[in-house]
Amino acid sequence: MNKIIISGGHLTPALALIDYIKENKIETEVVFFGRLFSQEINKQTAQEKKEVEKRNIKFVPFTAPRPARNILGKIPFLIKFFFSYLKAFFLLIRYRPKVFVSFGGYLAVPIGIAAWSLGIPVVTHEQTVTAGQANKILGKFAKKIALSHPDSAKHFPKKKTIVTGNPIRPDLINAKPKRPEWSKDISNKKPTLLITGGNQGSYILNTTISQVLPKIINTWNVIHACGNPTNKINYKVELEKVKKDLHAAHRQNYIVREWLTTSEMAWIYNVADGAVSRSGANTVQELSFAQIPTIFVPLPFSKGNEQLLNAKTITETGAGILLEQKNLNAQTLLKEINFLKKHQKSMRRKLEPLKPSANGASKLWEIIKELT
């Protein structure tokens, strides 16, 4: 049986590929190299281990240093990177994969270089409209570079790139997902608003939503994916306090969850009438696939301003709303939520031609299969 190693900073397309392999009963063993913490400094637990092991896939903890931001940090970074490379080198010798599949991010760089030095083919997938620094580096060592957007091709050697689209988790394509137990009491008479700050959550989004919640909860159901706690703040605990201060008649219509599973997201994507979200590549792709009009609040310090560029692929057509973080406050967010409610039908029509293909995982697998 062939074996592949999967790793990288973007979890949801990695899970989509794993789910595709399992759903199609492909005889391939998958091992996942992943983080235990999404934020090492704040000790925010990552979702990789839980989600991967839930799929009966072996999870191997792996760490790599973030790139240094200044000259003084470069020497410690290079030392740490060298040890990450050595760890990856010996892990790859131990597991002997046929292919290493990267989903970008600094975590994948030492693994990709170690794989290349051992003669193991590297396939990396770029989700963003631009290209992440990690994938620009990995592109030099990769046999193939799979792209979600044709615009990304200019950052890589032409002969290596293939546009596959973004892998979409199979459960999200399910037309009739099961309703979660925790949603049973929310009103069926109100529209539903999804709030998400991405896998790690967002302090500023969580805080601003808490300020506008009393003004929108009488006309919306709100499902809020707030992110796991850090050693500085427990988002869910703080938001549950806000929920207790709501009028008793509306409390049941505000649901706050640290993390939403794939099956839960499938149901939400089927019922949501709008969303407020960061604009990571995978989130934008999934919201577009689900045809959900969204207020995008891009992370302002993302590499190459990639989140802003991701959002603009939707908002410049009028199918979404761009609210930059520098302009975000309770008043502006409330204004945009009211606008979204009024114009959601016309925005949804504009989303129709932007719907991404559901075949990203199968196209990516065809590339991997050729190298095994």
List the one residue out of 239, 195, 128, 189 whose CA is nearest residue 336. Answer: 195
Domains, the chain = 2-168+358-371 (3.40.50.2000), 173-354 (3.40.50.2000)
> What are the tens digits of pLDDT across the range 235-251?
999 999 999 999 998 99
Q: Which residue's entry shows tokens 């003004």?
A: 215
To 10 degrees, what angle do helices 306-315 and 281-289 make?
20
pLDDT for 45: 74
Indicate the average pLDDT of the chain.
92
List the one residue out of 140, 127, 139 whose CA is nearest residue 304. Answer: 127
Secondary structure of residue 107 in the 3-state scheme: coil
> What are the tens digits of pLDDT across the range 304-326?
788 999 999 999 999 999 999 99
pLDDT for 31: 98
pLDDT for 175: 66
pLDDT for 129: 85
Residue environment code for 5-31, b if the CB has 16+ CB neighbours within 10 A, otherwise e: bbbbbbbbbbbbbbbbbeeeeeebebb
Half-sphere exposure of 278 (CA within 13 A, CB side): 25
Work out whether strand 37-39 and strand 44-45 pair parallel, antiparallel, or are unpaired. Answer: antiparallel
The full DSSP string for 293-319 is -EEE---TTSGGGHHHHHHHHHHTTTS
> What are the tens digits of pLDDT across the range 87-131?
999 999 999 999 999 998 899 999 999 999 999 999 999 998 888
The full DSSP string for 252-269 is GGEEEES---HHHHHHHH
User: Looking at the predicted structure, is the pLDDT value of residue 174 above 70?
Assistant: no
List the one residue out of 168, 205, 151 whose CA is nearest residue 16. Answer: 168
List the one residue out of 263, 272, 292 whose CA is nearest residue 221. Answer: 272
List the one residue out of 136, 114, 126 whose CA is nearest residue 33. Answer: 114
